Amino acid sequence: MTIIVNLSALHTLHHHSVALAAFAKIREDYAMDCCGFRFLQTISNYVIVKGQFLISRNTLIEPYKRGAIDTERFFENLLSMYDFLNADHLDFSNKAEELKDCYSRNPKHALLEAAWNAIIDMNEHVAGRFAQIAEQATPENPVYLISNSNPLNVHKILQLFRKHNPDMNFFDPAAIHSEVTDENVNVQIAPNVFLCLSYRHRLFKTAEQNPNPNTTTSLLKNLLQGIPQDKDVQVISQFEGDLLEARRLGVPDAATHRAADYFDAPAHTHQFGS
């Protein structure tokens, strides 16, 4: 039995407005107007940030999630919108503790990274889900965590998994290469548990999410095609579009599950690996 799970079903995913508010706070803390005064109007900063991200969605956000640009290029593009962070007089030393777990060692990049990752969290309701899935993984019954994600979000998600599962046998973070690469391969994070990521395969989860409206290819389709036909598959997601795609690709209705129904069911109900 192969289990495919939407990665964001295993952590808390806040509304994008949380990240916009975090970027607005950066403007409030560091941006200066032409007279040398800070832009202290919180609402104005939020509106400016929201407009910037709407304009740059197709040139910055979607390409990063699709692997068309790597993290360093992503930071460079973000800094073009937040060029006030390049001012010589700025001191980020008071942010060292707050930013210590960031992927980037550059304080300007780390500041932007923390805002970008503000949507990623872990509450008590979902904290046990990763362990519930990972415990079912065996060489014959692998688990794939599928996502339209990006390297920075994945870095924080893996940190949260390790934090909430300290006794689990995770691979060494230094050995987990989750950055953009030309190799279209899945990323193993624990024994028989793999990340199947949009930016590693240059594809989004469902056909309709991909830029070419005529394509029938999708991340989910590629993954299913690599699984032996005689192998049973279960697909779990909180997004109906994922489940519809799985059914369209031949996964039986009974083998597709809404995440809330699956994870809130009694523990004995879904022991697929047994």
Which tens digits make up the pLDDT trace of 123-136?
999 999 999 999 99
Asked if residue 270 is part of any domain, the answer here is: no
- The answer to whether residues 174 and 217 belong to one domain is yes
DSSP H or E stretch at residue 147: strand 143-147
What pLDDT does 173 receive? Answer: 75
Domain span holding position 182: 2-12+122-264
The CATH number of residue 219's host domain is: 3.40.50
pTM of the model: 0.89
- The answer to whether residues 42 and 129 belong to one domain is no
Long-range pairs for 266-272: beta carbons < 8 A, 24 or more residues apart: 267/132, 270/234, 271/136, 272/1, 272/3, 272/136, 272/141, 272/232, 272/234
Number of domains in the chain: 2
- The answer to whether residues 128 and 260 belong to one domain is yes
pLDDT in tens, 172-220: 876 677 788 777 789 999 999 999 999 999 899 998 888 765 567 899 9
What pLDDT does 268 receive? Answer: 40
Asked if residue 82 is part of any domain, the answer here is: yes
- The answer to whether residues 116 and 159 belong to one domain is no
Asked if residue 37 is part of any domain, the answer here is: yes
Asked if residue 273 is part of any domain, the answer here is: no
- The answer to whether residues 145 and 259 belong to one domain is yes
Closest CA to 179 of 196, 200, 194, 162: 200
